[in-house]
Chain A
């Protein structure tokens, strides 16, 4: 797609603005509502903790698999 918009410069400025929390573009036009925002923080927190726990569990499983030889190998099975 060809666009006549100048590229470069502005994007960098916007990216910089993100870190300074400066508003960009139109203000939000839909109401996220307070309860929904609070719930979103809670939900994201719970899900992140669960995701971390899941990753830790997988890591532990892998670790123990490496540590403990499989029964099949002891029995000489393939």
Chain B
């Protein structure tokens, strides 16, 4: 028996802060975690204090080295996933106390993260172009982050014919959508991936996926308004005003 086991409830309750900061030693943390299973008030408080600690983490966000993403994604392809403990497979349900994801905060965080990711890689040419491209990537990333944290953001994933997967992130409130894509097939002969809104049965151009990148995230140009679906086709260099091939991806937009 250690100190933590001998503590009264009131004493244990005073540990919520230290626990949320991971400032207990191993034994105490284990004892406190046991206490949590029978103390609803503590559980709630710990949840709130851990969410507060997240803000401390985000305040020190830094751009990770670009190789980090490549290494993580490569490892993910190999790493076995641990199944959910039996009987605890939970269907997605709204959290009882939704976490207020402050817009700017989340945006800031994503911007920093994405700067190390695909978007910032757009800037690879000459110094001037690089600066301009970085500024564009930055602006795009800020909007992308806002979109990802919009309260009404919906996600729709699908497999891309020809390889890879893509997720459509859409917000009616922001009137904006983005595609996050991964592992797309390489295109030859200067051909490009072009995005489209499906509006009343016709396809409206929504921009090209970042040139030469098979992983990344791109905001669709133009508003989401009226679109029932978002599609992607392969087009000749520079894109086309109308789709000339069959969509390799078509994702409905939730209403």
Q: Is this pair of chains taken from one and the same complex?
A: no
Q: A-side interface residues toward B, CB under 8 Å?
A: none
